Amino acid sequence: MLCQRCGECEAEIFQTQQVGGKSYSRDLCSVCAKVDYGVFLGALLQSQAPGARPLTTEEEEELRRVLDDAAPPEDPG
């Protein structure tokens, strides 16, 4: 099974979320998973550090992409 993010590498990380009785899955290769987790954890650590500078616009956009990609699909109804 290929990574759902890059579509090139074999998926090795299998994420499943349960939301409102529905199950959502996302399968990532180790490279894409490390990038996404690194962005998320970096922003989290920075937000907790006293006196840390705010995220740049580019960092905010990348964090938003990671969070949006990890979220279950929106229900159109």
pLDDT in tens, 14-70: 988 888 888 888 899 999 999 988 998 898 888 889 998 898 999 999 999 888 888
d(CA 64, CA 59): 9
pLDDT band at 2 (very low <50, low <70, confident <90, very high): very high
Question: In the block, which residue shows the tokens 């990348």?
Answer: 62
d(CA 30, CA 10): 9
pLDDT (0 to 100) of residue 29: 95
d(CA 15, CA 22): 14
Query: Whole-model pTM?
Result: 0.70
Flag whether pLDDT at 75 surpasses 80.
Answer: no
Q: Can you give the residue ranges of every domain in the chain?
A: 13-70
d(CA 58, CA 64): 10
